[in-house]
Amino acid sequence: MSVNTDRYQTAAARYFEAWNATEPEALAKAVAAAWTADGSYTDPLADVSGHEGIAAVIAGAHGQFPGFVFRPLGAVDGHHDTARFAWELVNEADGSAPVAGFDVVTLDAEGRIRSVLGFLDRVPAGA
């Protein structure tokens, strides 16, 4: 159990705000609020750093899954400068969730994300 859960929950909330931003300006603003300037994002399909690279990965996910939103699954857990949380990608029209995974994030002293290591637990064939 984490000692400072608010810090981890706040970071996760900003992370999901970024992943659910669909307009370019809102996306850029949300990524800048969530990540450090040199922050990174790595999962089996992407390995990028910097706000522009992260925003491009997020925009690509929205292009591949229009009408879907990222939602947390369960609680955020953390210790020191590291947190982990599970998520799913949900179709707003029918509630299906074809993609799910979990992420491990490291935070700076202000609670902004320095790095994300993402893991995909459920991915549809051909995605």
- The per-residue b/e assignment along 6-45, b for 16 or more CB within 10 angstroms, e otherwise, is ebbbbbbebbbbbbbbeeeeebbbbbbebbbeebbbeeee
Q: At what angle do helices 5-19 and 50-64 cross, to 10 degrees?
A: 60
Map residue 59 onto helix, strand or coil.
Answer: helix
pTM for the full predicted model: 0.93
Residue 74 CB coordination number (10 Å): 9
Q: What is the pLDDT of residues 88-112, one digit of tens each?
A: 999 999 999 999 999 999 999 999 9
pLDDT digit string, tens, across residues 42-85: 999 999 999 999 999 999 999 999 999 999 999 999 999 999 99
Distance of alpha carbon 110 from alpha carbon 123, whole angstroms:
33
